[in-house]
Structure formats: C-alpha cells, structure tokens
Structure 1
C-alpha cells in the first residue's frame, strides 16, 4: 500500500509504513518544515499542526532549525556582541559561563532548554556548594542571554528561565563602620599618603575604581567638591583600564563635608603632583593603585581586625557613607544622585551634585565629624583633669 496523505486547511499529515504519522507545514518563509518527531495517532499530529498554526497567526512562530544552536555557542556570541559592556563585566560573564553554565547546559540546544532543566541546573549548583549569590548571578546571566533569543532573535517563543526566586541573592548584611572607626582606619594606614583615600571614599561614597582614578583636576582647590568622570578597572592580561564609571549616573560632582576639606587640601599640597592629571592616590612608587597590591601594602586584613571590623571590605566604606548620608534626612532622589546610582525612571542621570540639596548632605556629614571631634576633645580633657574629691 502506498503512503496515505491527509489534507487539512493548514499543513499535511501522512501515515508512514511504520504506522506512525508525520506532520509537515509551510512556514511563513515559504519553506516546508517537518515535525521533529512522528506521532502514534493522526489526532496527535493534527494537534501539533493546530498549535503551529496558532503561533504563526499570533506572530510568535520561530524557525525550529535555528533553535538547534547550542547554548555555549549562542551565549559566547551574545557576550561578544553586547555593546557598551565594561571590561570587568565581560570578564565576569565569561567566568560565569565557563564555571557555572557551560559545564552542564553548554551542549544543550536552545530549543531543548526547559524550565525543569533550568530548575535542576540551579539546584545542582547549590548542592555542589555554590553560594546563593553566585547561583543568582549565573541565573540572571542565563536569563538575559535567553531573553535575547526570545525578543530579538526570535529563536525561542518563551524564556525557560522561570524559576521563582532564582534571581535573588539575599547576601549577608555588610558591616557598617562608625565615624570614629573610619578615622581610626584612616590613621592606621601604613603610608600617610593613603589616609585620605579612606576618608574620601567614605564621605563621598565612592567605588574603588572611582576613588583610585581621581586626579588633581577632579578636586576643587579648596577641597569643597570632587568630580567623578572616569574609573579604573583591572582586566586580566591588560592591567588597569581607564574608562567611564559603572553607570551613566556615576558621572557626578560630590560636595565634601566642610570639616574634612582642610585635610583634603593638605593632601593635595603634600602628596599630589602639580599636573592636572596627577593621581590623588598612588602606591609607594607613584603608580596607580591596584586592589590586591593595596590590600598587601596596608595589611588590610590585620588592620580592619585591629579597629574592630574583621571581614570589612573596601567597598563597605562606600556602604557606610551611603548610610551616613541617608541619616541626614536627604530625599531618595538626592541620595541616588550623590551615590551615582541610576534611577529606574532615568531622572537622575547627570544631576549636578553641587546643588543645595547635596550641599545639605555634606553639611550634615560635616556636623557628624564635628560632633565626633568635640567628643574626642572632651574625653581627652576629662583624662587630663580628673575631678577632685570633695
């Protein structure tokens, strides 16, 4: 008996010699497509074609052959083609792919990725000892890659990354220094030229790359403000790369509390070269600071233990300064401008931080410093002049 073909309004179904049914259809591009599997019943083949017809009518059809590309190939191209990524971000994405995504999912075709498979992949990461924070970073990267496959390349009709809570890190609460601890840490720097790095980072809420990229031309002669316009990024194989801050809102001018301005001016006079491009903070030989070298240089781990803040990271200075600024009663909008955060509504991108609102923040911080210093002076006076017994 010859093959029998069933005629439908959309697509064709034919019975194979094996007794199973094969479904095919003409795609929107005019090319005939055959289902990747055969069906035990004609009714199942009809259901398949009805679903394909619905996706075409709704404009959601994608070429099944394109979904055969492996995740590893698509993800690597995705990273290469993302315009505007910072070098450090590219490095992080490639590390996450190589370490946590590709070993398990890299060989899977895009069209074969399912929510169940993604859920199992994440569960396996956590069982293997990967932290929830790192698993969340890997999940968000995978979701972003597959979002492009859905929304831009139209390879997939739906993103399989639909695991509730998988994108949440829930990191441990970071330590916050008191005002006396910040000055104690600054005074504990083995090299005096690095003392103001601690103070400026905390009071101006700077990121490491922003603070280490500051130049003489970025600071007001009277120490009243500093301007963040570039940042240092350390890239494997390239060393320190000078580029834009982490976000567009990161380009900003920050008012410095009055109480610490004289010390900043003294730092400029004593430790910074005369040229406009002279770096504010350098290593012993005058070169740009690198994170690992700095930690070794100042014996960071031992130093933070001595001030009662074991486990403190340099970035916690920025976190500390952000909380101090919030305590002055500033609005969320003004705080985001000072911190260099992008507002979701893109309202704060290049707001000038020399505004009266930002000066109020700086004045509030200056008041905290004055209160601290008056308290230290009173304590010293009490030690020199103990009360006389009556």
Structure 2
C-alpha cells in the first residue's frame, strides 16, 4: 500500500481509519497478516511501530499475539533458570507455589494488570498471611514480571503497588556483651564458643556449622569462611560455597576468645585437619532443629526472650559499627557484596553522628572565644 508520500512500504502497510487514527498491518513469519494491537494518532507513529515489529521478527524476538503465554508456565521456567542457592530456591519455590500460582497460574501473562496485583496482595493480607511472607511473594512476582518485560512479552511491569515490596519488620533485639556471656553460660559447654563467635564475629549459623579445624588460625586470630551448611527439605544437609564471592572471607576474632577457642578445639571439635569445629551433642553434624532444643531452655535460664540465634549476628555487626568500622569493613565482616546492609548498621550507631556534631560545636565555641578576645569583650 502506498503511503502518504506516494511510496510503497517494504514491510507491512498503514491505513487511515474513519476515526482519523491509523492502523498498521504486517505479515508474521508464517505469512499470515496481523493487525497491530493498537491504533496510532499519526501515520508516522504507525510506520515506526512497523519498523520495530520487523526488527523483532528478524532478531527472533517476535511473539505471536494469538499465542498467549500462561503465567504459571512462564514462572516455573523462570524459577528453574535462576542460579539460586538451595535454601533460597526452596524458599522462593514455596512462595510461588503457595501464594502466587493459585491466583495467576492460568492467566495469560500479558493480561495481568496492576489492579489484579493489588487485589491479589490485599486478598493474601485479608487471609491473615504474614506481611513478611506477602512482601516476599510480591518481590518474586515483580522479578518474574521484570523478566517478562525484558523478554518483550509485556510492555510494562504491573507490579506497581506503592510500598508493597518493602516489609515493615520490627527491629531485632541487640544483646549487650554481658547478656551474650550470660547466654553462653547457659548453653551446654560444647556450644559456648559457638555463641561467643556468633556474637563477636557476626558469622552465620550455617558458616559456623561448616567450619573445619584448618579454618581457624589461633595465632593470627582469624577464621576463614570458605563454605556454609544449608538445610533443605528436598536435599537435606548441603555443604556449599557462599552465594557470592564476598561470602568467602577471613574474619578476625577478639583476643579474649583465643583461650576458650583453644580449649574447645581440644575437647569438642572433630580430630584431623578437616575435622568439624562444631558438632551436635551426639557427635553428628550440627543442625538448626537440634540446636534449638538447647537454645530455648538457655534463653529462659538467662532471662532472655524472643531472641533468635541470628540476632547474635546482629549484635556482632552492631558492635563492629560502634567500634568505628567503615562501610567497606562492615561489608567484609558480614560477607555482603552490597552496601545496603552495612549502611543499616552504620545508621543504627547515630551516636557517632552526634560526636561529629559535638566536634563541630567545639570548633564554633573556640571561634567565638577567639572573636571575644579580638573585640576585647
């Protein structure tokens, strides 16, 4: 069809509708003619759209608009393609299966709209699903839809509910040093150093459970984190490398722990260079569920409540921040490649910000005293 300039288009055609808008039509790879899914205010807009559609076909990115892709099929394939660690994969698969697919499984991915997402989220909260769980499900749905945008299946991510991707979680408890020792006194002797190291180095439970004798350097007072233990329903105990390069690190521990750690290695650790530093009370691998049986009674005996083992890591990171650790130093100790978590701990220590303000205030007072001397007042 000749266009307004009298030239025949090489690909597709454009015609003016009675409404005054323009319609684009093009041949798919199968030769079948298809109309654009929308009309255009100008002929130029329609022609630009045809150029882009031709590029999709040439580059192999074209999707037949009549072959709608079901969300469930796409989401399942999406999860399989992610390079998640075992525990993260299991957690995300559970959120997808329990909270997302029941609502969107058979829905064409291109038909899911922001109102649909908003209604789905509200329904989960109305059912009494915890806010943290709903936030996680929303984050996964948003990530899937972001990939759908990248794949050219949709033009815009429908997950645009303000604030839905951020959990408003209560701040976890921070244990003082005396509280840490009080708790360490109440656990069985074989776990005393486990508690102290968690609190004063910020290592995770899985990192501590996977430590071997050769990872501990008593002379240099360092622990090398090279692997971590994960516990999954499908695969059981899994020993893996940290999920990022930042997780492989060497962390210094306080000199006060050298003697206790030496005693622990002599009495409770497995023998040999590759022997585990921490084992269960019956000699097997240390597991979260088994440790919980001694953790809860120890909390009660120490007069503490609502404290998770992971809160010891919170204590260690906060102590490091109060000691003046920089963002980069905190990231190293925590095993994070992102500055986000490190900045949280630096923000907690706002007393240092007051110290800076006090220093500035002292400079102001000195300047005022100097002005008073110059003016003779």
Structure 2-normalised TM-score?
Answer: 0.77
The separation in 2 between residues aligned to 1:185 and 1:288, in whole angstroms, is 22
Task: Kindly report which structure 2 residues correspond to 1:348-363, keeping only aligned pairs within 5 A, or say none.
Answer: none
What is the deviation of 1:52? 6.4
Q: Tell me which residue corresponds to 2:204.
A: 207
Q: Does 1:224 align with 2:256?
A: no
Residue 35 (structure 1) shift: 5.0
**Secondary structure of the corresponding residue to residue 263 of structure 2:** helix
Aligned-partner Cα distance in 1 for 2:50–2:213: 61
Whether the 8 Å contact between 2:24 and 2:50 is mirrored in structure 1 is: no
Q: C-alpha separation between the residues in 2 aligned to 1:197 and 1:96?
A: 32
Aligned residue for 2:308?
313
Do the aligned partners of 1:219 and 1:227 also contact (CA within 8 Å) in 2?
Answer: yes
Partner SS, residue 312 of structure 1: coil
Q: How does 1:115-130 map to 2 (within 5 A)?
A: 115-130=114-129
SS where residue 65 of structure 1 aligns? coil
Provide the alpha-carbon RMSD of the alignment.
3.0
1:344: Cα distance to partner? 5.3
User: Is the Cα–Cα contact under 8 Å of residues 197 and 281 in structure 1 kept in the other structure?
Assistant: yes
Is 1:70 the counterpart of 2:67? The answer is no
The count of corresponding residues between Structure 1 and Structure 2 is: 324
CA deviation after TM superposition for structure 1 residue 36, in Å: 9.2
Deviation, 1:14, is 11
Report if the CA contact (8 A) 2:40-2:46 is conserved. Answer: no
Work out whether residues 39 and 46 of structure 2, in 8 Å CA contact, stay in contact via their aligned partners in 1. Answer: no
Name the residue aligned to 2:231: 234
TM-score (norm 1): 0.75
The equivalent residue for 2:375 is: none
> Equivalent residue for 1:177?
175
Q: How does 1:1-390 map to 2 (within 5 A)?
A: 11=13, 25-26=25-26, 29=29, 31-32=31-32, 34=34, 54-57=48-51, 63-65=63-65, 68-82=68-82, 84-151=83-150, 153-189=151-187, 191-222=188-219, 224-296=221-293, 298=294, 300-343=295-338
Task: Give the 4+ runs in structure 1 shifted more than 6 A.
Answer: 5-9, 12-15, 48-52
Q: 1:13 to 1:339 in 2, by over 3 A?
A: same
Q: What is the CA distance between 1:46 and its match in structure 2?
A: 6.0
Q: Any idea what the Cα deviations from partners look like across 1:117-145, whole Å, max 9, x if unmatched?
A: 11111111111112221111111111111
Shift of 1:218: 0.5
The change in CA–CA distance for 1:193 and 1:27 in structure 2 (over 3 A counts) is farther
